[in-house]
Amino acid sequence: MSSSLRLVAISIGFVIVGALAVTAMVVASNRPAMVVSAATTSSSTIEAGIFTSGDATVSRKPDLAIVSAGIQSQMGTAAAAQSDLASKTAKLVARVKALGVADKDLSTASYWVGPVYDQSGQAVSGYRATEQLNIKWHNVDTVGKTLDAIVQEGGATNIAVSFGLADPKAAQAEARSQAIADARSRAQAMASAAGVRLGQVIRVSDVSTSSRPPVGYSGAGAAPVASQVPVGQMDVQVTVEVDFAIA
């Protein structure tokens, strides 16, 4: 091969190699990046223990009645409904205070003024105003007569009553102590069955939830005798979760 042909072949070779290199760079730049990370391992330990719960119930006679007394008015305009409601509420409040209820034991639970629609649901036929009062009554044995006075003389139209303790902390503390003792008794039985010794307390949680539904009362019409609202006993329930270590 002549020297001129050899130079041409070498030049073509360099051009091909260069083109291949450029193509490889373009392809490499368009490929997604790959991240390689070393695998990691983790270990966790489960703390040995005995996890149990306990519950207890302490009964007490309620010493507090919460009376909810509502009043309402319906008029052609919102202003008229509100004004009429104010007069009715003033009468009710005066009767409540005449029963000996202190200002601190009387509060407004809700107050509402809004439109009333006709049967089609499109046109406003009037306006209704309502107010609900909460009354704390400390003499639970006379709550029936109190309800009658609020309805028949005070004009209340919506009444409900619920009972409770003015200071439930003592009953709760007693029940909580009994619940923890119950949890310890259960844990001890579990430890004996498993052949281990019960250790110290790791954690204690109070998961109690308690409520007593209100008693409904209808005051329509005059009652010949005082309304009977037996008070009875209320239960203070406590549930605890206790975790014990294994000695």
Model confidence band, residue 154 (pLDDT cutoffs 50, 70, 90): very high
Stretch 95-124: mean pLDDT, rounded? 94
115: β partners: 127
- The enclosing H or E element of 147 equals helix 143-152
- Provide the phi-psi class of 219: left if phi over 0, else alpha when psi is between -120 and 50, else beta: alpha
Do 204 and 216 lie in a common domain?
Answer: no
**Residue 151 token pair:** 């309805």
Q: What gap in Å lies between CA 92 and CA 86, rounded to an integer?
A: 10
Q: Are residues 81 and 2 in the same domain?
A: no
The average pLDDT across 199-227 equals 70
- Per the structure, the complete domain to which residue 24 belongs is given by 1-30
> Residue 212: its pLDDT value, please?
56
Confidence of residue 7 (pLDDT cuts 50, 70, 90): very low
100 φ/ψ sector (left φ>0, alpha ψ -120 to 50, else beta): left
Does 149 lie in the same domain as 175?
no
User: Are 197 and 222 part of one and the same domain?
Assistant: no
Is the pLDDT score of 169 beyond 90? yes
Higher pLDDT, 198 or 209: 198
In the predicted model, what is the mean pLDDT of residues 171-180?
96
182 and 226 co-located in one domain: no
Q: How confident is the model at residue 56 (pLDDT cuts 50, 70, 90)?
A: very high
pLDDT band at residue 215 under the 50/70/90 scheme: low
Q: DSSP E strands: which ranges in the chain? A: 49-60, 64-75, 106-117, 124-137, 158-164, 198-206, 215-217, 234-246
Check pLDDT > 70 for residue 210.
Answer: no
Q: Are residues 24 and 115 in the same domain?
A: no
C-beta separation of 67 from 146 below 8 A = yes
78-98 vs 143-152: helix crossing angle, rounded to 10: 140
For residue 111, what is the domain's CATH number? 3.30.70.2970
pTM: 0.66
Residues 90 and 140 in one domain: yes
Q: Per the structure block, which two tokens stand in for 144?
A: 């029936």
Task: Work out how many domains the chain is built from and give that number.
Answer: 3
Considering the chain, what percentage of its residues have pLDDT values greater than 90? 68
Note whether 128 and 197 are same-domain residues.
Answer: no
Specify the pLDDT at position 224: 56
80 occurs within a structural domain: yes
Structure tokens at 50: 């005995």
Rounded Cα distance between 159 and 229, Å, is 13
Residues 105 and 130 in one domain: yes
Q: How many CB atoms lie within 10 A of CB 71?
A: 25
Same domain (yes/no): 86, 188: no
Structure-block tokens of residue 208: 């109690």
pLDDT > 50? residue 32: no
Share of the chain above pLDDT 70, in %: 74
pLDDT of residue 40 exceeding 50: no
